[in-house]
Structure 1
């Protein structure tokens, strides 16, 4: 089946998310996963027994056989899990669900992620993909690895540090309109941002994502069926994932060192290039973006990789607080508050917000949004993106 056949073949019909402060969830990952899936099915108007496909980003202990049995589904026809850390393939989980529907492997697929500190702990020192070339020099956390790449982006490429600050302040601005956001009622200004403690240069405290307990589920069905259900469909227009050559977990001075991993190299198209080619649109056509911010610097790099902002000093003219704010700017980003101001469920919560923008139900709605982009974890070994669209965009 060609990539063109995938365009709009599947749609998100139901969404649900739960999130709590780190370590404060009342239940473990399995129960929260089930709660989120049941709520997403209710949102769509689908009986949970109809689910026949299950795709998770990480969380391998709760696979399709476990979730399907707990829900009493009629038949598990499709089950998959996306690899890669740092949220890199969280969007790919949605792409896989859409592909399963488009190719007839399943009819009703849920993409999900759950996190509970009591179950699986947190991403502590040296628990990720770090090889001896990192550990021997004291580099053993995601913040440290991404900080080195971000510092190269600032010093070598000339991207102004103020672009990072603008991304953070826009997220906190959006969070003030979202009652469920952890930063709700806690506005952030430039002085507080600048005076916050340095975590690892160039990241200050507010450049770093929150850690939350919670679960998110998105239920996908065929485009034809989605039109008969409760909610306006958010069609999967295009998706892409990959690990470009020379950019991986075990290389630390590669050709794309200051990028987020979505860019092409040596004339080869990258993940972002493939996304736009399949979608048949230009980056400037996108109405709203949800970009995974493990840290502010990688998110800035991801926006640049996708052609949404220029590289170098010119990035500062696009990445301003007002231009990143819904209802004000031309590039509204992370309209729920994102991983920085809302919650962090490995980025799957950003996908739910991308769908809400198509529905018009976001707490910071972008008027008449037709194309909503979800960018998975940047500067991860594997990366991915998904473009959602309104029916008018098909």
Structure 2
């Protein structure tokens, strides 16, 4: 193994969450929820919160590391980092950055965090609210392409058209998330099952996306604590080791969804080169993966991400993407076992990372038997994208 690898050198020691709410319904400020999630992760790990010495986040998180350090009363701040990019493209990248800081000796105990209180600061999923049209939106906003669903729909439509993939594939992905949410009391959509009829009859948002193809908008907070592998082995929870992580994009990726019309490969989730680097670092392949948590900004992004991570070919999508193949515990490839962004919570993907860790620990509400390798994919179509593999001790 190269010295320039994360494989087996860092592990998740603790995870924490607040309650999750529909957007604008959080009863507390964003900063307070962020602190509560971090303290919950410390309790989960069995560490003193003052021993945290690094913070990493993504998606322009507003919770300043100096303010967090002061509020928690940490002994010393040694590392702080923000992954570029909006949405959840950088969620696994933030974990990779935290892992690299530990391997490089910049910090010993780094927390990755994300918090949202949209009633306090505004909604993420709204159409663009601008007094004029910036140049990067000149060929989109005037023609009605204003919201995330409208930006990403043409990419997925192109991919589905080129490969003969029908709406049933997207429906299976949505129904899988809702199926798993019914076993998860933390999920916002707990107690709200989705049927084929309900999916088919739901309104179009931007074809090929029905209402249930689109992620929720939520308030809440989540946090993950990483330490060295050696330290994690002596801590409270079963370690989930980082086997590999990668971030980036394919050639000439758009700087924003509004500029996607200029790229040569429109129908992509941007994981083609990134997934190759992930597997190379982890010294694994798609056949070694036991369970997948794939960020659903929209179900079409999951479709392309699973293909670009090598689980099946485009022409196999209609046969593979069936509910029975995707549900825990017996599916060929159990997917989004907490309910994911569609049905558990849209914390810009950090909840999916926590679920990937819970599968390694054996603590999921939809547990897959004998999980040794767990994949967690960051926000597709939102470059720079990122992806990460976690493993048990047996996977090392």
Q: What band does the TM-score fall into relative to the shorter chain?
A: over 0.9
Task: Identify if the C-alpha distance between structure 1 residues 304 and 3 changes in structure 2 by more than 3 Å, giving closer, same or farther.
Answer: farther
1:40 is aligned to 41
TM-fit CA distance, 1:63: 2.3
> Residues 152-167 of structure 1: matches in 2 within 5 Å?
152-167=158-173
- Pick from 327, 344, 354 the counterpart of residue 325 of structure 1: 327
Name the SS for the 2:158 alignment partner: helix
CA separation in 1, counterparts of 2:160 and 2:250? 22
TM-fit CA distance, 1:23: 1.2
- Pick from 294, 301, 305 the counterpart of residue 297 of structure 2: 294
TM-score for both structures, normalised by structure 2: 0.95
2:393 is aligned to 391
Pair 1:29-2:30 in alignment? yes
TM-fit CA distance, 1:106: 0.2
Name the SS for the 1:245 alignment partner: coil
CA separation in 1, counterparts of 2:117 and 2:346? 11
Task: Identify if the C-alpha distance between structure 1 residues 393 and 73 changes in structure 2 by more than 3 Å, giving closer, same or farther.
Answer: same
> Residues 16-165 of structure 1: matches in 2 within 5 Å?
16-18=16-18, 19-123=20-124, 124-126=126-128, 131-165=137-171
Q: How many residue pairs end up in the alignment?
A: 387
TM-fit CA distance, 1:37: 0.3
CA separation in 1, counterparts of 2:3 and 2:213? 37
Pair 1:243-2:246 in alignment? no
- Pick from 366, 373, 380 the counterpart of residue 371 of structure 1: 373
CA separation in 2, counterparts of 1:2 and 1:145? 40
Task: Identify if the C-alpha distance between structure 1 residues 48 and 127 changes in structure 2 by more than 3 Å, giving closer, same or farther.
Answer: farther
Moved over 4 A (4+): 1-4, 127-130
CA separation in 2, counterparts of 1:257 and 1:2? 35
Task: Identify if the C-alpha distance between structure 1 residues 192 and 3 changes in structure 2 by more than 3 Å, giving closer, same or farther.
Answer: farther
* Structure 1: gaps (5+ residues): 264-269
2:336 is aligned to 334
CA separation in 2, counterparts of 1:69 and 1:260? 39
Contact 1:59 1:114 in 2 (8 A): no
**1:219-265 deviations in whole A, cap 9, x for unaligned?**
000000001111000011100000322222233242321110111xx
CA separation in 2, counterparts of 1:370 and 1:311? 27
- Pick from 206, 217, 232 the counterpart of residue 212 of structure 2: 206
* Structure 2: gaps (5+ residues): none
**1:258-282 deviations in whole A, cap 9, x for unaligned?**
110111xxxxxx0011111111111
Task: Identify if the C-alpha distance between structure 1 residues 61 and 112 changes in structure 2 by more than 3 Å, giving closer, same or farther.
Answer: same
**1:334-358 deviations in whole A, cap 9, x for unaligned?**
0001111111111111101000000
CA separation in 1, counterparts of 2:84 and 2:233? 32
CA separation in 2, counterparts of 1:76 and 1:361? 32
Q: Which moved more, 1:11-20 or 1:241-250?
A: 241-250
TM-fit CA distance, 1:168: 0.6
2:264 is aligned to 255
CA separation in 1, counterparts of 2:121 and 2:87? 15
Name the SS for the 1:322 alignment partner: helix
CA separation in 2, counterparts of 1:95 and 1:84? 15
Pair 1:15-2:21 in alignment? no
TM-score for both structures, normalised by structure 1: 0.95
